[in-house]
Structure 1
Amino acid sequence: MISRPIVACNTKLPKTYLIFLQLNLYHSTVSLSSSIKLDPLDLRNYKDWLSPTEVIKIFETLKNPNSTLTVLNQLSKRKDYKPNEALYTSVINNLSEAKNFDGIEEVMKRIKVEKSCRLSDGFFYNVIRIYGLRAGRINRAIETLFDMPNYSSWPTPKTFNFVLNLLVNTKQFDVIHEVYMGAGKLGVEVDACCLNIMIKGLCKNGKINDALQVFDEFPKQNCKPNVRTFSTLMHGLCSLGRVEEAFSLLQKMETEGIEPDAISINILISGLRKNGRVEESIHLFDRMLLKGCEPIPSTYQEVLYALLDCRKYIEAMNLAKNMSSKKMVISFESYNLMISGLCEEKIVEDIEIVLKQMIENGFLPKLSMWKQIVQCILEKN
């Protein structure tokens, strides 16, 4: 082993030798730093001060959202830890992506203790939406809504109505009224959307009389019903065979200057036909066309069935032709009923027209249908 000569401190070194030492020291430092792999999750490896934007960027760029709580715990130990709504939102969205809903509950408890900032209604709307739609924790969504005042925040009608609609869609009818009655406690002003949701829920639950009572609440709450209000009630009444009351709502709409749309008319036409009032359903359809209200495809289909019920096969054939020109899909059952009816009436010349239209729309006649057509032609001749 060759020992290096020891140079005394007062010895004057050549300039080239000093440069060599500096380069050697530089390469050693670079080599050492490159061999150390910094842990991106260890916030001690970051600079002394992190701005709020930089902190959020760390959470947004996490490759594994499951590490969110670990990073948050490390961040909370730093002197520059100043959480805000944007940070909490980023953390909760990461936990939602990781389906760590227990972690979200942990963060919500932390927020309540820290009380570091005021949170908006939009923040809670996001949390409630995650609980209700992604996690399926409906009770937790309700609890979060009523817990908002404890965070010094109050829900808007949008957030309140979202919870009500969530309960209707998940058929938790027993809880809806209880939540609705809590509007005053939360400082929420009941609006038309809220009343519409209540009516929808009651109609779905078969409590049409209670829905009509809510309908009477509109003027008391200084709200005005809209087309959706009437169409929901009409559907509920027609499903119970109370078509006359549904029609009285149509008259009330016109009195209040609310123009019925294609959906509300479709509900009435369908209700009339299903309750055996076929001629009236056809008449209402004609009125709809005269008023310039373009029916939706399902309305055309209902009227087509109504014409076939009335054995008006020529009118049904013409309507089917009109539907086909509008690129509407006609059911196979409709074609079957039309051809059967035309065969019974021995209207051979029109059978070919319907048969051709049927094939053009992608339907192939069954063997029984061919037998019926052949028999009709033979009997006609």
Structure 2
Amino acid sequence: MISTTSTSLLSCAAKINKTTSNSSLFPFLSLLLSRSLAISTISSPPSSPEIPSRLRHKDWLSPTEVLDLFSALKNANSILSSLDHYSHRKDYKPTEPLFTLLINKLAHARLFDDVEVVVDRIKNERNCRLSDEFFRNVIRVYGNLGGRIKKAVEILFDMPAGYGVWPSVKTFNAVLNLLVSARLFDVVHEVFVAAPKLGVVIDACCLNIMVKGLCECGKLDVALQVLDEFPKQGCERNALSFSTIMHYLCVCGRVEEAFGLFARMEEEGIESDTIVFNVLIAGLRRQGQVDEAMVLLKRMKLKGCAPNAGSYQEVLYGLLDAERFSEAKEFMSRIISMGASPSLKSFRCLIHGLCKENRMEDVDWALKQMGRQGFVPKRGMWREILLSLFAGKISDNCVSYEQIIAN
């Protein structure tokens, strides 16, 4: 925009040009005018296109209208400047929905430094009441999306004093689970013992997370001791409490101890679910006890617990590991008839075993079933099938396998 001073200079230059005979004076005035215009342009910059125009108008904006404006922002880099501009308006009203929207948009754009700016700004917003759910979302953004686990823990501890919000046990457990998933077991213990200071009452979910963390760091005996802490904390043990430890016991080859926990569950009247049975079936399979796994599968049905695809798949793997390919084929047929789909690995193992035994009719059946399940045999599988098919039958007049695949 040309200023009033610049307009006056133009007018004066025109008058001087008409009244003077000195032709060298007007170029000088023209140069002076151009510099004045440049200075005027610098001192009066145009409005930034990044900030929504409606935020620059003096019309009163409701919180809902503000949400719509920030939702429509396409460039996440303009969020902070737009928020700063909005905060200087007389109708500025910080709300939880607004801050949630901004943080989620910045997180989606991977601008986690900007997220920290917004979160730090919230501390100074005395007129904005925030909920525990809001901070749980911030913790999710920092930990699960941004990988900034340290910041997630800091938010948890800063909630009471910095933001005036006491964390719920759900938010507390979200941080614990985040730490266990990141295998930061030392920090898990620090957070766990700080529960009373944060006003958190330990629940069964919290103890289950601790059991998982202890198992993952190899402290199975300590995890077993935590089971005894449930009643002391006024919590009830559930199937998850036992199945977590049972799984790691089976992985470590301590299958008998896992069955001991299973018996303890039944004594305490805790109903076993599909996960519990699958853990035990997988444990027996690792020990090569496929017959016992099949017995447990039947027992599972008798107890009214419906097996899933994982239950049958573990038994099938057990039969394949034991090279009982005839039984494995029949068991696979049962799985398919029930509407389940065996894994690609089990098809590969079965076809490999049938080729070793030169049972080509069964190989043909397996290939057809494999195709019906949407799996495509690779070159290596075809090679094995052809070698088995022509084993001992190749003469000088026969076409070689290499010639077949070359064509």
TM-score between the two structures when normalised by the length of structure 2 = 0.74
The answer to whether residue 369 in structure 2 is matched with residue 360 in structure 1 is yes
Determine if contact 1:121/1:153 at 8 Å carries over to the other structure: yes
The residue type paired with residue 235 of structure 2 is C
* Corresponding residue for residue 18 of structure 2: none
Determine if contact 2:274/2:308 at 8 Å carries over to the other structure: yes
* Corresponding residue for residue 67 of structure 1: 78
Q: Structure 2: how far apart are the matches of 1:299 and 1:275? A: 16
Instruction: Show the 5 A alignment for 1:123-138.
Output: 123-138=134-149
- Aligned CA distance change for structure 1 residues 249 and 340 (closer, same or farther; 3 Å): farther
| Per-residue deviation, 1:137 | 0.6
Determine if contact 2:335/2:342 at 8 Å carries over to the other structure: yes
* Corresponding residue for residue 270 of structure 2: 258
Q: Structure 1: how far apart are the matches of 2:235 and 2:72? A: 47
* Corresponding residue for residue 215 of structure 1: 227
What's the % identity of the aligned pairs? Answer: 50
1:53 aligns to what SS in structure 2? helix
| Per-residue deviation, 1:158 | 1.4
The answer to whether residue 111 in structure 2 is matched with residue 100 in structure 1 is yes
- Aligned CA distance change for structure 1 residues 342 and 292 (closer, same or farther; 3 Å): farther
| Per-residue deviation, 1:189 | 1.2
Instruction: Show the 5 A alignment for 1:102-251.
Output: 102-150=113-161, 151-251=163-263
Determine if contact 2:204/2:235 at 8 Å carries over to the other structure: yes
Pairs aligned (count): 336
Determine if contact 2:328/2:350 at 8 Å carries over to the other structure: no
Unmatched segments (≥5 aa) in structure 1:
1-35
Determine if contact 2:169/2:200 at 8 Å carries over to the other structure: yes
1:34-93 per-position Cα deviation (integer Å, ceiling 9, x unaligned): xx9996536673224322222222222223221111122222222222322223223323
1:258 aligns to what SS in structure 2? coil
Q: Structure 2: how far apart are the matches of 1:94 and 1:276? A: 52
| Per-residue deviation, 1:240 | 1.2
- Aligned CA distance change for structure 1 residues 74 and 277 (closer, same or farther; 3 Å): same
Select the residue among 280, 283, 293 that pairs with 1:268.
Answer: 280
TM-score between the two structures when normalised by the length of structure 1 = 0.79
The residue type paired with residue 310 of structure 2 is S
Determine if contact 2:332/2:342 at 8 Å carries over to the other structure: no
| Per-residue deviation, 1:121 | 0.5
- Aligned CA distance change for structure 1 residues 97 and 334 (closer, same or farther; 3 Å): closer
2:180 aligns to what SS in structure 1? helix
1:104-157 per-position Cα deviation (integer Å, ceiling 9, x unaligned): 222222221232222110111111111112211110000001100021101111
The residue type paired with residue 327 of structure 2 is E
* Corresponding residue for residue 34 of structure 2: none
- Aligned CA distance change for structure 1 residues 369 and 184 (closer, same or farther; 3 Å): same
The answer to whether residue 338 in structure 2 is matched with residue 329 in structure 1 is no
- Aligned CA distance change for structure 1 residues 223 and 341 (closer, same or farther; 3 Å): farther
Determine if contact 2:202/2:233 at 8 Å carries over to the other structure: yes
- Aligned CA distance change for structure 1 residues 68 and 354 (closer, same or farther; 3 Å): same
Residue range with higher mean Cα deviation, 323-332 or 132-141: 323-332
The residue type paired with residue 207 of structure 2 is L
1:295 aligns to what SS in structure 2? coil
| Per-residue deviation, 1:371 | 5.5
- Aligned CA distance change for structure 1 residues 65 and 367 (closer, same or farther; 3 Å): closer
| Per-residue deviation, 1:180 | 1.2
Determine if contact 1:282/1:307 at 8 Å carries over to the other structure: no
Determine if contact 2:355/2:384 at 8 Å carries over to the other structure: no
The residue type paired with residue 231 of structure 2 is P
Q: Structure 2: how far apart are the matches of 1:300 and 1:44? A: 62
- Aligned CA distance change for structure 1 residues 109 and 317 (closer, same or farther; 3 Å): closer
Q: Structure 1: how far apart are the matches of 2:288 and 2:143? A: 42
Unmatched segments (≥5 aa) in structure 2:
1-45, 394-407
Structure 1 segments, 4+ long, off by >6 Å, are 373-377
Determine if contact 1:266/1:298 at 8 Å carries over to the other structure: yes
Q: Structure 1: how far apart are the matches of 2:329 and 2:108? A: 54
Q: Structure 1: how far apart are the matches of 2:322 and 2:84? A: 74
